[in-house]
Amino acid sequence: MRAVLWDLDGTLADSRDFHWRAWHETMRGAGVEISEAQFAAGFGQRNDAILTAWLGAAATPARIREIGDAKEARYRQYIEREGIVPLPGAAAWVRRLHAAGWRQAIASSAPRQNVEVMHRVLGFAGAIDTLVGAEDVARGKPEPDVFLTAASRLGALPSHSVVVEDADAGIEAARRAGMRCIGVGRTECAGADLSVLSLADLPDDAFDQLIA
């Protein structure tokens, strides 16, 4: 069994602006101003880690849950209302791998409701076999939990699984999981077995060669 484990934000779709708007407005409503630099530093991490850094001593579990839930609800409203499209090459590769018999998962640090909404809006139903979100694992990236959980659900060994990631924390999580990794968004992603600026730039045999 061969598997591809896709990161979501920044890999399959560019949702960065939606997240920035949702965080900025939600934090302002909570009486906290954040800069885009602060947002960028935490992008791709779980909400508990992000809000602990931003709120400091005020980051109680209840406060984290309250603010995080409000931000994610606002984010999903943006996605539903404005729509989102796959990044170049993403949809073609998802369809191609599905046709070739690869099992596929979205393995994300995002809340599961976000993953479900984006999966539906992006039009990947039928090609993606399972979804793994923040609530499905105890530890977020760079720990390997999300990828190990996804591979297990697909019935694939780590040695037969390829991770596709855009973030350093996700690439490190793939390494710790014992999986091969494709880094997207840069010509050189430290720790990735293969790096490309865009999924559209991947060689036709990229996934086959990594597993071979």
**Domain spans, the chain:** 3-13+85-211, 16-82
Phi first, then psi: give them for residue 196, nearest 5 degrees: -140, 155
Task: Retrieve residue 52's tokens.
Answer: 């602990």
**Domain 3-13+85-211 class in CATH:** alpha beta
Question: Which of 3.40.390, 1.10.150, 1.10.20, 3.10.590 would CATH assign to domain 16-82?
Answer: 1.10.150
Q: Rounded to 10 degrees, what is the CA torsion of 184, 185, 186, 189?
A: -40
Omega prior to 142 cis, within 30 of 0 = yes
Per-residue model confidence as pLDDT tens for the chain (212 residues): 999 999 999 999 999 999 999 999 999 999 999 999 999 988 878 899 899 999 999 999 999 999 999 999 999 999 999 999 999 999 999 999 999 999 999 999 888 999 999 999 999 999 999 999 999 999 989 999 999 999 999 999 999 999 999 999 999 999 999 999 999 998 889 999 999 999 999 999 999 999 98
Can you give the pTM of this predicted structure? 0.89
Which one, of 131, 125, 128, lies nearest residue 112 by Cα? 131
Task: Retrieve residue 18's tokens.
Answer: 């939606």
